[in-house]
């Protein structure tokens, strides 16, 4: 039996062929657990269970408040298991235990709470006034879509799983979720927690397995009505193609290369903190990281030396230690990707002003090659590859600008549009800049703060649709218009007779 099993049709189970894969602590390369590796057959079984649960009920026919009660039970159980979930999240993905305790676990519970509220508060039916057709009643019904699949990346597995499952089931859909192979433990643990909450079998299914087989099935199977994907823009394009076969609804949350604009009236101390936190939180393995700091020329030199000085104080270490600021990257392969981009940056821009490699050594059994130092390139031209491509690691590009209009033009000169920041002492000026940024979220004098009650998503190639907020709930509901002619007899009262000159 695998240490972590799949959750299909209300049962925890091994994969159909009994295969497993091992998952490792990236700080030490020590094995954590064997995970059941789902096959394509398991994916079909999970989708079939979700289809049956949706079509036969009772979940899809329950009232919003009844579903909300179950979501709140899941949120409470997440909080009950918070210590275990936080440790597992940190151990499996390399993020710090502080992040897991302060962001990941409460973020997951809060998502279930928020969507419970949506299920209670959002109306299922809305009457429409003012029909051009006489004596008709018109109303809109909001109905669940059906079977919703979710495919998530490795950087925030627990929160991402919750962002997919919670809105789907709150709205009366059924769900099949696939986490990424590097970090599937907390999503599978969430499956176990949901198993304790006695939802009807098949309402939630969680399967870990390869994107190329299991993921493709979730995005293409005709029994699936909607697929929600978070991951790279490259795979997002593939998901859109796969979903197009049966014209499924598609929500895509993709990559980013967000600009954090520092205006010359900013409090430099506060702005430096916002830029460093905006880039190096979780080693820059965050989709909306502000990996391009756009700094106005008047303050440029002073600000850049402040950044270099402070970045050198970021403490690398064991992610389970409360004193650690930055753990290992998720996997050695990610360190190699980052190192390739840093080498490219040396060619394109020159020597970074700080960092630029893995540390020479780390204490105890920590594997130095799995870590990467916070790295800053200054005087970067926005047209370089390191300023245009998503590195997904602890690498900041600092780019000078002259006027607010220049800053906006540079910020918008990107295929992405996911996040962004404006640091300024003048809120009107900051808001005017924020209004012109073509991006899904802008933080003024802040960064990274995401709340389930606020919509999140991307412009341009950063995505399609929104998660969270009211929008992130409504995107999981169909809209049906019902037109009722209350006259149950009498030809003269019927509009279509008039249109066809009474010949029918
Ligand atoms: P990825 O695109 O490689 O993988 C994401 C998920 O898709 C994984 O579960 C993977 O197994 C699956 N997958 C891979 N190929 C597939 C295929 N052909 N069909 C179906 N599924 C497939 O991304 P990653 O490396 O896990 O994560 C990093 C990326 O995620 C970055 O680009 C980052 O910006 C993005 N991301 C975006 C957001 C957002 O909200 N916009 C949030 C987090 C991460």
Instruction: Tell me the CATH number at 23.
Output: 3.40.605.10
Query: What atom in ligand 1 is closest to the CA of residue 392?
Result: 31
Report yes or no on 492 lying in a domain.
no
Same domain, 294 and 237: no
| Residue 114 in domain | yes
| CA-CA-CA-CA torsion sign (76, 81, 82, 86) | negative
Give the tokens for residue 95. 């993020």
Ligand 1 atom with the shortest distance to the CA of 467: 40
275 lies in the same domain as 379: yes
- For 70-198, strand residue ranges (E) read 125-128, 137-144, 147-151, 174-178
The parent domain of residue 282 ranges over 259-444
279, part of any domain: yes
* Residues 219 and 315 reside in one and the same domain: no
DSSP state, 246? T
Ligand 1 atom having least distance to the Cα of 218: 20
Torsion of CA 392, 395, 400, 405, to 10 degrees: 20
Mutate to test the pocket of ligand 1, among 37, 153, 337 (most ligand atoms within 8 A of CB): 153
In a domain, 132, yes or no: yes
The catalytically annotated residue of 148, 250, 287, 397 is 287
Q: What is the pLDDT along the chain (504 residues), one digit of tens a residue?
A: 999 999 999 999 999 999 999 999 999 999 999 999 999 999 999 999 999 999 998 999 999 999 999 999 999 999 999 999 999 999 999 999 999 999 999 999 999 999 999 999 999 999 998 777 767 899 999 999 999 999 999 999 999 999 999 999 999 999 999 999 999 999 999 999 999 999 999 999 999 999 999 999 999 999 999 999 999 999 999 999 999 999 999 999 999 999 999 999 999 999 999 999 999 999 999 999 999 999 999 999 999 999 999 999 999 999 999 999 999 999 999 999 999 999 999 999 999 999 999 999 999 999 999 999 999 999 999 999 999 999 999 999 999 999 999 999 999 999 999 999 999 999 999 999 999 999 999 999 999 999 999 999 999 999 999 999 999 999 999 999 999 988 887 766 665 655 666 555
181 and 329 share one domain? no
Q: Are residues 336 and 225 in the same domain?
A: no
Q: With contact defined as beta carbons under 8 Å apart, do 327 and 94 qualify?
A: yes
| 253 annotated active-site | yes
pTM of the model: 0.96
In a domain, 404, yes or no: yes
Q: Is residue 120 part of a domain?
A: yes
Query: Do residues 227 and 239 touch, judged by C-beta distance below 8 A?
Result: yes
Give the span between the Cα atoms of 372 and 331, in whole angstroms.
11
In a shared domain, residues 332 and 195 = no
How many A from CA of 43 to the centre of ligand 1?
18
pLDDT for the residue numbered 307: 98
Q: Whose CA is nearest to atom 15 of ligand 1?
A: 211
Contact between 313 and 483 under an 8 Å Cβ cutoff? The reply is no
Do 239 and 263 belong together in one domain? no
Is 287 a residue of the active site?
Answer: yes
Considering its fold, how many domains does the chain have in total?
Answer: 2
DSSP string, 74-99: HHHHHHHTHHHHHHHHHHHH---HHH
Please check whether residue 300 lies inside any domain of the structure. Answer: yes
Same domain, yes or no: 150 and 269: no
Helices 64-80, 82-93: crossing angle, 10 deg rounding: 70
Give me the CATH number covering residue 369.
3.40.309.10
Q: Based on the domain organization, do 154 and 17 belong to the same domain? A: yes
Residues 195 and 340 occupy one common structural domain: no
Provide the pLDDT for residue 268: 98
Both 69 and 208 in one domain: the answer is: yes
Buried b (16+ CB within 10 A) or exposed e, 223-258: bbbbbbbbbebebbebbbebbeeeebbbbbbbbbbb
User: Does one domain contain both 243 and 270?
Assistant: no
Task: Provide the 10 A C-beta neighbour count for residue 140.
Answer: 15
Name residues contacting ligand 1 (CB within 6 A): 151-155, 178, 180-181, 211-212, 215-216, 219, 230-232, 235, 238-239, 253-256, 287, 390, 392, 418, 458, 463
The CA radius of gyration of the chain, in Å to the nearest whole number, is 25
Residue 488 lies in a domain: no
């Amino acid at each position: 039996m695998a240490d972590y099993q799949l959750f299909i049709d209300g049962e925890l189970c091994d994969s159909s062929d009994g295969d497993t894969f091992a998952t490792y602590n990236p700080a030490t390369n020590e094995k954590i657990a064997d995970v059941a590796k789902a096959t394509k057959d398991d994916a079909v079984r999970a989708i079939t269970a979700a289809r049956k649960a949706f079509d036969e009920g009772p979940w899809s026919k329950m009232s919003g408040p009844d579903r909300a009660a179950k979501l709140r039970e899941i949120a409470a159980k997440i909080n009950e298991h918070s210590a275990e979930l936080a440790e597992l999240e940190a151990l499996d993905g390399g993020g710090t235990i502080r992040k897991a305790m302060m962001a990941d676990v409460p973020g997951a519970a809060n998502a279930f709470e928020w969507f419970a509220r949506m299920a209670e508060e959002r109306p299922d039916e809305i009457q429409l006034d003012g029909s051009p057709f006489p004596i008709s009643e018109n109303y809109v019904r909001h109905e669940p879509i059906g079977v919703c699949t979710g495919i998530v990346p490795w950087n925030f597995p627990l929160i991402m799983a919750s962002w997919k499952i919670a809105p789907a089931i709150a709205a009366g859909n059924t769900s099949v979720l696939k986490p990424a192979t590097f970090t599937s433990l907390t999503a599978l643990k969430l499956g176990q927690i949901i198993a304790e909450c006695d939802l009807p079998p098949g309402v939630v299914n969680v399967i870990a397995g390869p994107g190329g087989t299991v993921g493709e099935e979730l995005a293409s199977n005709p029994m699936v009505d909607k697929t929600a994907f978070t991951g790279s823009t490259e795979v997002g394009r593939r998901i859109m193609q796969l979903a197009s076969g049966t014209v499924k609804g598609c929500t895509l949350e993709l990559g980013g290369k967000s600009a954090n604009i520092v205006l010359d009236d900013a409090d430099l101390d506060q702005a430096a903190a916002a830029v460093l936190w905006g880039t190096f939180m979780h080693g820059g393995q965050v989709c909306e990281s502000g990996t391009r700091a756009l700094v106005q020329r008047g303050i440029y030199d002073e600000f850049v030396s402040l950044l270099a000085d402070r970045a050198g104080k970021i403490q690398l270490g064991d992610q389970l230690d409360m004193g650690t600021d930055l753990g290992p990257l998720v996997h050695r392969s990610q360190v190699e990707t980052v190192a390739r981009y840093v080498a490219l940056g040396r060619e394109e821009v020159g020597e970074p002003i700080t960092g630029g490699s893995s540390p020479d050594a780390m204490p105890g059994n920590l594997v130095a090659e799995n870590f990467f130092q916070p790295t800053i390139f200054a005087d970067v031209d926005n047209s370089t590859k390191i300023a245009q491509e998503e590195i997904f690691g602890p690498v900041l590009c600092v780019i000078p600008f002259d006027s607010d209009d220049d800053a906006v033009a540079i910020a918008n000169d990107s295929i992405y549009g996911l996040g962004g920041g404006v640091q300024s002492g003048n809120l009107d000026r900051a808001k005017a800049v924020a209004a012109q940024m073509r991006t899904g979220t802008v933080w003024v004098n802040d960064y990274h703060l995401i709340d389930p009650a606020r919509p999140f998503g991307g412009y341009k190639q950063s995505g399609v649709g929104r998660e969270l907020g009211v929008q992130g709930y409504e995107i999981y509901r169909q809209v049906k218009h019902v037109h009722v002619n209350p006259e149950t007899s009498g030809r003269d009262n019927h509009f279509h007779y008039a249109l066809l000159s009474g010949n029918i």
